[in-house]
Amino acid sequence: MPPTSSFDVTTGVDLQEVDNAVNQAQKEIAQRYDFKGTKVSLEFNRATSILVLIADDDFRMRALFDVLQEKLIKRGVSVKNLTIGEIKPAGGDTVRREITLKTALDGETAKKIAAAIKDAKLKKVQAAIQGEQVRVTSPSRDDLQGVIALLRGQDFGVELKFGNFR
């Protein structure tokens, strides 16, 4: 029997890069003229992977979010891995928005990935959901390369990362 090759499909964000992007955004907010003398803040809770944006009004909230998004993109953090919450009124005439970072594949996305691989009907390619990742196995490395190309061509709502190629 030929040896099988495999790789893992995962997702996630580099929390250090998010922290750096938040620090850069805070520096820019402190320097910008349109934010002078306003109640604007940006906080990152690393333990829960939640960003909290607070601003005076919707206009400043959008500007704050644009600054944050620009810094995240520059630092190489995929915006696909952000779950952006609604703008809600907060105390003291301010508005608040919470942004949750997707640090792992959820069950529904993992099922979609496994179903897409099975629907491609590639011979001897198997996908198995293992917690927060999908393990794809096949005797042929070329088939695995084809699966990676197939998954990159589809949108699952998160940035996919391919690792442990053996």
User: How do the domains of the chain map onto residue ranges?
Assistant: 5-11+105-163, 15-101
Number of residues that this document lists for the chain:
166
Could you name the CATH architecture of 5-11+105-163?
Answer: 2-Layer Sandwich (3.30)
15-101: same fold as 5-11+105-163? yes
Cα separation values, 161 from 60, 65, 76, Å? 34, 25, 13
From CA 19, how far away is CA 15, in angstroms rounded? 6
| Strand residues in 22-154 grouped as ranges (E) | 41-45, 50-55, 82-84, 88-90, 94-101, 126-130, 133-138
- How many helices (DSSP H) and strands (DSSP E) are in the chain? 4, 9
The reported pTM is 0.82
Angstrom distance (rounded) from CA 124 to CA 146: 13
Give the fold, CATH level 3, of 15-101. Answer: Alpha-Beta Plaits (3.30.70)
Q: For residue 103, which phi and psi values (nearest 5 degrees)?
A: -100, -5
User: How confident is the model over 99-151, as pLDDT tens digits?
Assistant: 999 888 888 888 998 888 888 888 888 888 888 888 999 888 888 888 888 88
